[in-house]
């Protein structure tokens, strides 16, 4: 079962109940753990039953409350190996992006904002399974950006590999670690079959989502790219 968690600030958070236990995907901005805990209890679950907190990537609107949620529940954090260094107090210093503002905070302050330094993090690799979800690595937005695919639910958690705020789009260059890679990252999603897509930003697609993503990828990377003006605007 998949449920969107209400009251979370930042990106959209999801509760996933699988045969491999409960997981929260992207619990949201700093402080949002309270809304997540409240929702878990409303579902008749004990917070200690939460087994995994899974991050699609390290950005603070997805990950800011991850440490607090892990501490409140005993859940284990899972994220891609390439994004894990960004959760430490001394983060890699990449070129400036909007979310990269945290890089310029003093380490002691940044630690409370974005750090999971004390967590026993499970470092994910492409193709691994966590909480019944298959990891699909799509670097570009961040080095360790992932989608999470549930074959049994016929669903894909897209993270920020694509957003659906004004139709399907890859994120703008202002928030991408490597913009050219971010634009190509959705290509891999064409290999997967799923009815539903759940985004970090924008409404879910609840039927034929794989088809819509495939059409987007073909338009973007096919021999006759459509929407040239939209492409231009993102550069
Ligand atoms: Zn986001
Ligand atoms: Zn992001």
Distance 205 CA to ligand 1 centre (A): 17
- The answer to whether 36 and 74 are in contact (CB under 8 A) is no
The pLDDT tens digits of the residues spanning 2-19 come to 999 999 999 999 999 988
pLDDT at 22: 95
Distance 54 CA to ligand 2 centre (A): 14
Beta strands in 62-221 (DSSP E): 76-80, 122-124, 129-130, 133-137, 146-150, 155-159, 196-199
pLDDT over 60 at 153, yes or no: yes
- The answer to whether 58 and 102 are in contact (CB under 8 A) is no
Mean pLDDT of 161-176: 95
Distance 200 CA to ligand 1 centre (A): 6
Domains annotated on the chain, with CATH = 2-234 (3.60.15.10)
- Please state, for a pLDDT cut of 90, what percent of the chain lies above it: 71
Q: Which ligand is nearest to the CA of 174?
A: 2
Distance 44 CA to ligand 2 centre (A): 31
Regarding predicted confidence, which is higher, 40 or 119? 40
């Amino acid at each position: 079962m998949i449920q969107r968690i209400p009251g979370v600030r930042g990106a959209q958070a999801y509760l996933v109940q699988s045969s491999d236990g409960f997981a929260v995907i992207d619990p949201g901005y700093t402080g949002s753990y309270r809304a997540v805990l409240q929702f878990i209890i409303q579902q008749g679950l004990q917070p200690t039953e939460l087994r995994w907190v899974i991050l699609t990537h390290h950005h603070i609107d997805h990950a800011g409350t991850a440490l607090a949620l892990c501490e409140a529940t005993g859940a284990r954090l899972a994220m891609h190996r390439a994004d894990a260094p960004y959760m430490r107090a001394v983060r890699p210093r990449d070129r400036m992006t909007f979310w990269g503002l945290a890089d310029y905070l003093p380490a002691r302050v940044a630690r409370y904002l974005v750090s999971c330094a004390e967590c026993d993090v499970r470092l994910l690799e492409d193709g691994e399974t966590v909480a019944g979800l298959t990891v699909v690595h799509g670097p570009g937005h961040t080095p360790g950006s992932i989608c999470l695919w549930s074959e049994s639910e016929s669903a894909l958690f897209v993270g920020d590999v694509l957003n659906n705020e004004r139709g399907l789009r890859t994120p703008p260059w202002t928030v991408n670690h490597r913009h050219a890679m971010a634009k190509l990252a959705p290509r891999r999603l064409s290999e997967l079959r799923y009815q539903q897509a759940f985004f970090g930003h924008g409404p879910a697609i609840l039927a034929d989502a794989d088809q819509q993503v495939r059409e987007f990828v073909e338009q973007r990377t096919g021999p006759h790219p459509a929407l040239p003006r939209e492409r231009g605007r993102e550069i």
